[in-house]
Amino acid sequence: SRAHALQGRAATVGFDWADLAGVVAKVREELEEVLAPGARTVDEVGDLLFSVVNLGRHLGVDPEQALRRGAARFERRFRAMEREGTLAGLTLEEMDRRWEAAKAAETDAGGSAR
């Protein structure tokens, strides 16, 4: 929420990307910096998150709401995976199958697949 407010304030004086392409390029640049060998610092991840918030702002999406909804969706699906039985000892592929089944069940029940 703070990042969103700061970006909105900067935009009021014209310190903003002219179009969505500039924002997307910045997100990609920040992701590359995070992934660069030896550069995985809290500052780089912070810059990436800040850029993603800006992307949401340019798309008209409230970043706080989007993150909360994403976390809730993950929690629902993960709990569905756990209801199928213990996850301990499963391979990543087996867990991924459960994840996809949870997504499909959510979609079949009228939820979002995204």
Model confidence over 51-101: pLDDT tens digits?
Answer: 999 999 999 999 999 999 999 999 999 999 999 999 999 999 999 999 999
Cα separation of 11 and 81, whole Å?
43
CA–CA distance, 95 with 6 (Å, rounded to integer) = 39
CB distance 19 to 44 below 8 Å: no
The tokens describing 100, both together, are 């996809």
The span from the CA of 29 to the CA of 35, in Å, is 10
b vs e for 87-99, b when ≥16 Cβ sit within 10 Å of the residue's Cβ? eeeeeeeeeeebb
> Which pTM does this prediction carry?
0.82
